[in-house]
Each structure stands twice: as C-alpha cells, then as structure tokens.
Amino acid sequence: MVLMTGRVIGRGLGKLMNIGVGSEIIYSFVIIICSLMIYFGTKELYKLSFHKGIKYFRQAFLFFALAYFFRSFIKIALFYFEISELRNILPIFGSITLFIFMYFSSMAIFYLLYSVMWKKWESKSTIYFLHIISMAIAIIILLFQNPLIYFLINILLFVFISFTVFISFRQSKKKKSHNLYIIYLMLLIFWIFNILDILIPNFLQAFQLSIYLISLGIFILIFYKVIKKTG
Amino acid sequence: MAKRNKLEIIRDILKIIQESHSIKPTPLLRRSNISSSRFKEYYSDLLEKEFIRETYGKNKEISLTEKGCRYLEKYSAIVDFIDEFEL
C-alpha cells in the first residue's frame, strides 16, 4: 500500500516536473530573444569601440541563440516523432542537426571564456583553435553514441573552463567581478545540463523544470546587466 | 599620470577636436600628448573609422564627424560595460 502510494506520488511529481512541447518552445524562445537582444543591444558599443572583448562577448550570445534554436528544433522533433533520439528516425538529418547544435554550443561557451581571457591568450590562432576543438567535440559526439563519452567530454569542458575562470578571478583585483564569475560558472553548469538533456534522453527528466527555470534566470540576469549598462 | 589605454587616448583626441570645433594636425599632435608615430597610427585609424574628417581650406583642418560625437557621448557606457563584464 505504502509502496503503491509512493509510486503514484512519484508518477505525479514526474508529470509535474516534465516539460511539454509548449513550455519547451517558450523556454527556448525566451533564451533566444534574450541572447539576440544582448547581441544587437551591444552592436553600437562595438561599432564605436572596436573592442575585442565586446566582440567575443557578442559572438558568444549569437552562438547561444543559434545553439538554442537547434536545441529546440531537436526537442520539438523528438516530441513530434515520439522518439528518444532524432538519429533513430532521421539518421543523416538527425546527425547533422546534432553536429550543428554541439558545435554552436561549445563555441558559445568558448567565446564567452575568450571574451574574458583574450588579453592573456591573444593570438590569431587561438580562435581558430577553439573552432577546431568545438568541431572535434561535435564529431566525437556523433561518432561515439555512448553516454559515458558524453559525460567525459562535458566533465573535461567543465574542469578546463572553471579552472581558467578561477585563475582569472584570483588575478582580478575588482571585488565586483566575484558575482560575474559566479554567474558565468552557473551558466556553464546549467548549459552542460542542457546539453546532457539532449544527448542522454530521460537522464535529467526529473529535474527538467528546475534546470529550465534556473537557466532562464541566468540568461535574464545577464540580459538585465547588459541593458543596465547599454541603456 | 597613469598610462592611458587605447579607448582613453581616442577619447582625449576627439575631445580636443570637439573643444576646438576644427583644429590643424600639428596643434592636435601637441595637445594629444603622445609620440608622433603613435599619433599617426591613431590619426589614420580615426579617419578610417570615420570618427574625424579632414577639410581643406587655406590649411588642412580636422573636425569631428557624427560618429566621433557619438563616441564621446557613449564613452562612459563603453568603459562601464567593459568593466562590468571584465572584457
């Protein structure tokens, strides 16, 4: 009896925490709009200053918008065909979409990291190197359909980026940059959750609503900080 | 005096031009407080980005374009933004 009640409650919670296609569209739409507004809202600042940091910051959010577009596209296709992996029903199309999503996702994070680190890493080849790494990540994910590989890649990404951000934070003399690095780390963590949500179906289903709400909060917070400065 | 960065030097050059309405290159170089080789770099950069224009009357004179005025208006916003996001 107790076990059955537990199962019913569990199923009810599962349904409550699960996201429908409508919510999926709204979630992606809000993040795409926030990212594009950050991109276009900072256009004048870049056109006037030609500052490389602003350039890479803008590109990060353009890539976030593109990545979320492809992410929502994959999610809607999964709902439509009622499958767990797009490659099951549309092998070539599904693989291309997944490749583009992974490439844009990795580049978005790398551009954001580079916007903070460009003075230390400045070299013409750095940005090409980051493009190559992003393509390599996308190819590995396509070739090895193994959740363990997906985990490993994302953990490596997390360790590398958080370590770089931590070093940069320790070197920074500004007190207020503390908040910014926390926001960027949160963005990275929840971005990885969003990627794992696509790569490993049902893995994070129980936490989907929380992941979506926190991700939305992070993007809206960054958007608010940008608007406050650009007017 | 602390070393000025690129954005500050551009602001200072544009401010000198704005205050004078139009100015000849030599006094601009003198008041900019940078070496002549660096001044040449900044000068051609500002011309290329259309922040300043040259007018030819009796002498060559330099004046601000609309984009140059906009830079001065938006300077604080640019610096604040770079500072806020550690760019």
DSSP calls for chain B: -PPP-HHHHHHHHHHHHHHHSEE-HHHHHHHHTS-HHHHHHHHHHHHHTTSEEEEESSSEEEEE-HHHHHHHHHHHHHHHHHHHTT-
What's the pTM value of the predicted model, to 2 decimals?
0.87
The average pLDDT across B70-87 equals: 94
Nearest Cα neighbor of A105 from A145, A150, A146 is A150
Do the Cβ atoms of B87 and A115 come within 8 Å? Answer: yes
The answer to whether residue B47 sits within a structural domain is: yes
CATH number of the structural domain spanning residue B45:
1.10.10.10
Do the Cβ atoms of A48 and B70 come within 8 Å? Answer: yes
Chain A residue with minimum CA distance to B78: A45
Residue A64 has pLDDT above 50, yes or no: yes
Please name the amino acid found at residue B29: L
A77-91 tens-digit pLDDT: 888 887 777 777 777
Total number of domains constituting chain B: 1
Structural contact between residues A211 and A219, judged by C-beta atoms closer than 8 angstroms:
no
| B contacts of A176 (beta carbons < 8 Å) | 84
Do the Cβ atoms of B85 and A172 come within 8 Å? Answer: no
Residue A94 has pLDDT above 90, yes or no: no
Do the Cβ atoms of A45 and B77 come within 8 Å? Answer: yes
Q: Tell me the CATH architecture of domain A2-230.
A: Up-down Bundle (1.20)
The average pLDDT across B11-32 equals: 95
The answer to whether residue B2 sits within a structural domain is: no
Within an 8 Å CB–CB cutoff, is residue A174 touching chain B? yes
The residue among A180 and B27 whose pLDDT is bigger is: B27
User: ∠A111-A74-A187 over CA atoms, to 5°?
Assistant: 35
The answer to whether residue B77 sits within a structural domain is: yes
Q: Looking at chain A, list the stretches that DSSP marks H as alpha helix, in order from N- to C-terminal side.
A: 2-17, 21-41, 43-49, 52-81, 91-121, 124-143, 147-171, 177-199, 208-230
**pLDDT value of position A80:** 81
Structural contact between residues B14 and B71, judged by C-beta atoms closer than 8 angstroms:
yes
Share of chain A above pLDDT 90, in %: 45
Q: Per-domain residue ranges for chain A?
A: 2-230
Residue B36 has pLDDT above 50, yes or no: yes
- Domain extent at residue B19: 8-84
Of A48, A116, A226, the CB nearest to B74: A48
The average pLDDT across A153-159 equals: 89
Chain B residue with minimum CA distance to A45: B78
Cβ-Cβ contacts under 8 Å between A and B: the total is 56
The answer to whether residue B33 sits within a structural domain is: yes
Q: How far apart are CA A129 and CA A12, in angstroms?
A: 47
Chain A residue with minimum CA distance to B8: A49
